[in-house]
Amino acid sequence: MTQPSLDRRHLLAGLAGAVVVAQAASAQKEPKKDPHAGHLMPAMDAPPATPPSPKITAIAAGTADCEKAGRACLAACTEHLAAGMAMMAPCQRAVMNMLAVSSAMADVVGFRNADPKNIKALAVACALFCRTCEKACEAHADHHAECKACMEACRACATACEAL
């Protein structure tokens, strides 16, 4: 019986298999490295974040109410404008701007890590936008439930922001 000759293809396949086996064996022996080794990390037993103050909690609640009522008011204003009621334009503009600022305010107080001076400055701006929206919605509050709800939410949010 004759022995088969060893050709290049069989030799390369055998070598490749040996390399794979060797790598698998060495991977099992090496301990896994911590992917965060060398990063600056706080101690795992760090105290929990302090709870937000009642004033910050009131602002968070106020911005949430403004966003909910404001979105409904914005949709109603858009529908009325599409139907030709041009008198809704100031209300729509006011609510659009209020939504942008109250959303930013909600984000900042929700993150709970901003400098108190910056929170105060944003609260002043948020109160101004809420008061503007409140005034714009007041003109329609007797005729449109969405405007009335937005007006009341803006009033409460502005009061909370001004109390900070």
Domains of the chain, each with CATH number or no CATH: 54-162 (1.20.1270.360)
- Residue 149 to residue 86: CA distance in whole angstroms: 21
- Say what the pTM is: 0.71
Assess contact for 74 and 99: CB atoms under 8 A.
Answer: yes
Mean pLDDT across the chain, nearest whole number? 86
pLDDT band at 50 (very low <50, low <70, confident <90, very high): confident
The CA angle 125-126-127, to the nearest 5 degrees, is 90
More confident residue, 160 or 6: 160
- Residue 147 to residue 131: CA distance in whole angstroms: 13
pLDDT band at 37 (very low <50, low <70, confident <90, very high): low
Tokens of 153: 């939410």
In 136-151, which positions are buried (b, 16+ CB within 10 angstroms) versus exposed (e)?
A: bbbebbeebebbbbbb
Whether the predicted pLDDT of 26 surpasses 90: no
